[in-house]
Amino acid sequence: MKAGFRRFIFLLIFLSVHPRTAFTQKPVRIIDSLNSILKGLKKNQKENSLTLDDTSRIKILNRLAYQYFRISDNDNMYSYVSHANEMCLKLIGNPSYSGNYTLKRELALSYQYLSNYYETSGLIPKAFENYFKSLNIREEIGDIIGIAESNNNGGNLYKEQGNLSKALELYNKVRTVRENIQKKNPADKSNIKGLAGAYNNIGLIYKKQRKYNLALGHFFNALKLKKEISENLSAANSLANIGSTYSELKNYSLSQQYCFEALAIYKNYNDKRGEASVYFNMAQNYVGEASSSYGTKRAAKILEGTSSIEQALTLAKQINDASLINDCYQTLSTLSELKKDYAQSLLYYKHYIHFRDSVTNTQSTQNSVRAEMNNEFDKKTFIARHKQEANNAIQQQEHAKQKSLRNLFIIAFVLMLILAAFIFIIFRQKHQDNELISKQKQEVESQKALAEQKQKQILDSINYAERIQASILPHHENLKAVIPENFILYNPKDIVSGDFYWYYALPGSQKILIAVADCTGHGVPGAFLSMVGSTLLNDIVVHKNITDPAQIITELSYSLSLTLINKEKNDAGQDGMDITVCVVDVEKQSLTYCSANQCIYTLSEKGLTKLDPQIKSADGIFNLKQTITHNSIEIKLEKDAAIYLCTDGYAEQHGEAANEKFNINRLEGLLGDVYKLSCEAQKEIIEKTFADWKGNASQADDVLIIGLKV
């Protein structure tokens, strides 16, 4: 009698506490206690005659599922949570119980745990399906804490799918809710753990975005909160994240320190998933140290890395984590290659490709991966057996790329010449047609139709030229990869433009080289010169490896002179190009630039700074021999500074109402007003201001503005 009473009291206390924060002892002990309680509840209860009293059993099943999830026992987790879900659905199907708040809350919790299960099993569509079911129920019953937990679940799923912005949005919602609760009740341990989890997840997003200092700040905040409430197992997760972040920063000794601390906790709690991930991170550290070492030290690091990754692989197989198994085989292949054991490296690489194929969802994608596996495996074999021949092949491939680029330039230039000749012929034919119309009035209607057809051919040709020009401009994603916050306002006066922009991310760094140019004229003539300039910049930077802005402008001037060397003297004097070339170093927060006839603007909390051009010549960068020696200038950027590069088209636009130019002063004032906004909002305001100012007046020149937030 006393034992039953004690069990009943324990049950009441247990069920009043949130499942994720009820216990700080080891999950195995909790599981034993819960199973003992569940065994007592099952007596004299029949599955087909469920009542509201069975809510206690549902709660126990859900909490058992969570504890099995903590120790990576997916089979038992699924068994208990699916049982809880079925019981909830049966009870809610009874009209007498359909509106019961507690039942709906437990149903939402079971859907959340099912989502967790499907996520760890790699069944992402099923994970999303259960996530949305859980979220909808919690929103329906107004469960604020539950909504926060669902948003956390959804953030995990979006993160796994690579949608980092959506994941960060959901994690920040969780953080906001948790922080508001903490202000009202600072001692709420359940909420403290939830806030720590939000900090940890936000840190993971920043880590994926390579914002390592921000990531570490959030990880340490999470670790501090978890230690305050003695959440040891969860603290191990933060320690592991800190360790892997230091590994990304190549601080291997500090990384190993945090990894060992996390590993000790995971072993104490028998968390195989945690142990596997830490062993994997430690192996990555050893790979990094081995790659930069020589002799006996290199051999020792390879041996330690092999031991760590083999332990990670063993654990990954026990918990059936296909993704981690895949990563382990890839690391084993790398370690074998460092030992120059190419045969073993290829064997591990084949395993890596096989497991990568196994986690692919659709059959069509599977076939693609298998084909890629064969290609990559053959390539690996070829490299192992014929090292020198592979190097020669790479050199030949590079030569072929350079030749292809040169041929592309020639073809583009020839196409432009053909286009010009075609336009001239069409205009001449149109003139002859008009003369014929005046002489033969009886054929007016037929000649009119012919003229319209010719005009369409002209527009089609120019539109085709626009597509050629657009294909040469760099892809916006290349700029976003280095500087996520940016915008490009590119508004040609005619279909094709004399303004062009160009950028190139310098490999192995957080630097990006950006050029903004204004060629003489607009329309087809300006477009010819812009395409030549863009092609030459590719050759100068990518193939000649010239990255100093002043040297790039000098080389561009020389190359343009060679390209246009056959022009008549009078025609050559009409060519000109104003250009700004700069290097933005995100890591050092610096700007190195050289400019011809264009200003650069930087804005920060200290206000607007106007950087004047080094080259001031009527011909821009043409005929640089007549200008003084010019050098690149490097400046340090303020925190959260914005950079603006632009041609003169925006400032030179006449307004319909004011009948005057927009001018530089108005442009500088506009930039000062909008620079604190998001780049998307800045572009929208700058574009609308231009349209409102222009009104129905014709556009005077091509418009190009690039804005960057560093």
pLDDT digits (tens, 9 = 90+) for 46-99: 555 677 778 888 999 999 999 998 887 889 999 999 999 999 999 988 888 888
- What is the C-alpha R_g of the chain? 33
Nearest to 649 by CA among 685, 601, 614, 687: 687
pLDDT of 162 reads: 87
Q: Identify whether residues 528 and 649 lie together within a single domain.
A: yes
Is the pLDDT confidence value at 6 over 70?
Answer: no
Is the pLDDT confidence value at 522 over 80?
Answer: no
- 106: enclosing H helix or E strand: helix 101-120
Question: Would residue 41 count as lying in a domain?
Answer: yes
DSSP 222-256: HHHHHHHTT-HHHHHHHHHHHHHHHHHTT-HHHHH
Q: At 130, which CATH number?
A: 1.25.40
pLDDT digits (tens, 9 = 90+) for 308-324: 989 999 998 898 888 88
Question: Would residue 354 count as lying in a domain?
Answer: yes
Across the range 602-608, mean pLDDT stands at: 94
Is the pLDDT confidence value at 377 over 60?
Answer: no
CA distance 259 to 285: 10
pLDDT of 566 reads: 59
Q: Identify whether residues 165 and 284 lie together within a single domain.
A: no
List the beta bridge partners of residue 122. Answer: none
- Cβ 557 vs Cβ 624: under 8 Å: yes
Question: Would residue 568 count as lying in a domain?
Answer: yes
Q: Identify whether residues 63 and 113 lie together within a single domain.
A: yes
65 versus 376: the higher-pLDDT residue is 65
Q: At 261, which CATH number?
A: 1.25.40.10
Question: Would residue 236 count as lying in a domain?
Answer: no
Question: Would residue 118 count as lying in a domain?
Answer: yes
Question: Would residue 328 count as lying in a domain?
Answer: yes
Complete edge-to-edge strand list for the sheet that includes strand 642-646: 486-491, 703-709, 642-646, 600-604, 607-611
Across the range 496-504, mean pLDDT stands at: 92
- Cβ 546 vs Cβ 537: under 8 Å: no
The SS3 call for residue 527 is helix
pLDDT digits (tens, 9 = 90+) for 199-215: 999 999 999 999 999 99
Tokens read off for 466: 């626009």
Across the range 395-414, mean pLDDT stands at: 76
Q: Identify whether residues 358 and 420 lie together within a single domain.
A: no
CA distance 106 to 18: 11
Question: Would residue 280 count as lying in a domain?
Answer: yes
Which residue among 118, 141, 164 closes a domain?
141
Residue type, 416: M
Express as a percent the part of the chain with pLDDT over 70.
Answer: 85
Q: Identify whether residues 338 and 395 lie together within a single domain.
A: no
- Cβ 64 vs Cβ 84: under 8 Å: no
Which residue among 472, 493, 515 closes a domain?
472
Across the range 597-618, mean pLDDT stands at: 91
pLDDT digits (tens, 9 = 90+) for 207-239: 999 999 999 999 999 999 888 888 888 888 889
**Helix ranges, 359-386 (H):** 363-385
pLDDT digits (tens, 9 = 90+) for 122-170: 888 899 999 999 999 999 999 999 999 999 999 989 988 889 999 999 9
pLDDT of 370 reads: 35
- 501: enclosing H helix or E strand: strand 499-505
Contacts for 445 with CB less than 8 Å, ≥ 6 apart: none
Which residue among 126, 141, 156 closes a domain?
141
Burial class (CB in 10 A: 0-12, 13-18, 19+), 189: middle
Is the pLDDT confidence value at 381 over 60?
Answer: no
Q: Identify whether residues 282 and 223 lie together within a single domain.
A: no
Q: At 491, which CATH number?
A: 3.60.40.10
Q: Identify whether residues 289 and 398 lie together within a single domain.
A: no
DSSP 626-676: GS-----EEEEPPTT-EEEEE-STTTTPBPTTT-SB-HHHHHHHHHHHHTT
* Residue 628 pLDDT grade (very low, low, confident, very high; cuts 50, 70, 90): low
Is the pLDDT confidence value at 372 over 70?
Answer: no
Residue type, 114: L
Tokens read off for 545: 């490896």
The number of domains in the chain is 5
- Cβ 24 vs Cβ 57: under 8 Å: no
* Residue 451 pLDDT grade (very low, low, confident, very high; cuts 50, 70, 90): low
Q: Identify whether residues 480 and 343 lie together within a single domain.
A: no
Is the pLDDT confidence value at 688 over 90?
Answer: yes
The SS3 call for residue 600 is strand
Q: Identify whether residues 670 and 607 lie together within a single domain.
A: yes
Please give the DSSP secondary-structure letter assigned to residue 571: H
Which residue segment(s) compose the domain that 260 sits in?
241-385
- Cβ 382 vs Cβ 342: under 8 Å: no
pLDDT of 365 reads: 43
Nearest to 679 by CA among 612, 606, 600, 603: 603
Q: Identify whether residues 519 and 650 lie together within a single domain.
A: yes
CA 281 to chain centroid: 22
Q: Are strands 703-709 and 642-646 parallel, antiparallel or unpaired?
A: antiparallel
Angle between helices 144-160 and 101-120 in degrees, nearest 10: 10
List the beta bridge partners of residue 514. Answer: 503, 582
- Cβ 71 vs Cβ 29: under 8 Å: no
In angstroms, the Cα distances linking 126 to 41, 71, 114, 120, 320 are 31, 22, 9, 11, 18
Q: Are strands 703-709 and 577-585 parallel, antiparallel or unpaired?
A: unpaired
Q: Identify whether residues 491 and 606 lie together within a single domain.
A: yes
CA distance 358 to 142: 41
Question: Would residue 235 count as lying in a domain?
Answer: no
Q: Identify whether residues 633 and 697 lie together within a single domain.
A: yes
CA distance 331 to 449: 70
